[in-house]
């Protein structure tokens, strides 16, 4: 295996998508965990609905809306579904915390070690460049990530092949020279189908997807990526 670039998913992999729970609990006592889970599920559902409903349009899906807007709509839906009072100020505070999601504690050190190995590092995300830049800056990761790749230009979300193809449009590598790292099993599977070497960060101790193939590597946190790279 010759890996030249390590490409990370952002939300759930580098940044904790459920770290919003504490603030949600403060605003809506007894509902914080439910809000965090349902918000995330609806967000991903909307990306799939948009991409699957118009996947072959040469200019991207006609239904495309930026991830930031989908994130807000998903939050509003979640609060309505739970019959919670949707106050504009609280929605805005939750959205602003989303823009500065908490990174997992081991991430910075792992990224520094990968950079020290001479490998190119990047994020490939459904998020916009502005969202990614804000999160990366807040986490102190600007110096350890070479590229922030957003799906916005193609107007299709992961797991479309076009989304994974953006990596090679940005970095001059072959598919099997990319180690794609995601904590989302569906994302790791999509990237494996695309032809990347894949590593699933299984933070929740979940079983492998029943759909084959399994990712090439897996582990409980980002430190396991170093073992996959032989370090």
Catalytic residues: 9
Note the pTM of the prediction, 2 decimals.
0.94
pLDDT, tens digit (0-9, with 9 covering 90-100), for 179-224: 999 999 999 999 999 999 999 999 999 999 999 999 999 999 999 9
Are the CB atoms for 190 and 182 separated by under 8 Å?
no
User: 58: burial class by Cβ within 10 Å (0-12, 13-18, 19+)?
Assistant: exposed
Helix axis angle, 88-99 to 67-81, nearest 10°: 130
pLDDT of residue 61: 92
Q: Report d(CA 111, CA 120) in Å as an integer.
A: 10
Q: What is the pLDDT of residue 214?
A: 96
**Rounded Cα distance, 220 and 47, in Å:** 26
- Residues of the chain with pLDDT below 50 are none
pLDDT of residue 1: 66
All domains in the chain, ordered by first residue? 5-16+101-228 (3.40.50.1000), 21-99 (1.10.150.240)
């Amino acid at each position: 295996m010759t890996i030249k670039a390590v490409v990370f998913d952002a939300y759930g992999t580098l940044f904790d998508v459920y770290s919003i729970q504490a603030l949600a609990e403060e605003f809506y006592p007894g509902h914080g965990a439910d809000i965090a889970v349902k918000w995330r599920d609806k967000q991903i559902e909307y990306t799939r609905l948009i991409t699957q409903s118009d996947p072959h349009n040469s200019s991207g899906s006609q239904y495309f809306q930026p991830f930031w807007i989908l994130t807000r709509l998903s939050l509003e839906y979640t609060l309505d579904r739970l019959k919670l009072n949707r106050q504009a100020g609280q929605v805005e505070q939750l959205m602003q915390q989303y823009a500065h999601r908490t990174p997992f504690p081991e991430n910075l050190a792992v990224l520094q070690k990968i950079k020290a190995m001479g490998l190119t590092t990047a994020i490939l995300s459904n998020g916009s460049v502005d969202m990614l830049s804000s999160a990366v800056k807040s986490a102190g990761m600007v110096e350890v990530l070479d590229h922030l790749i957003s799906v916005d230009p193609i107007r299709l979300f992961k797991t479309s092949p076009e989304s994974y193809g953006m990596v090679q449009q940005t970095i001059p590598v072959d598919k099997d020279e990319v180690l794609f790292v995601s904590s989302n099993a569906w994302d790791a599977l999509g990237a494996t189908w695309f032809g990347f070497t894949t590593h699933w960060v299984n933070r929740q101790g979940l079983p492998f997807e029943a759909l084959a193939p399994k990712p090439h590597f897996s582990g409980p946190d980002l430190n396991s990526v170093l073992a996959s790279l032989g370090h």
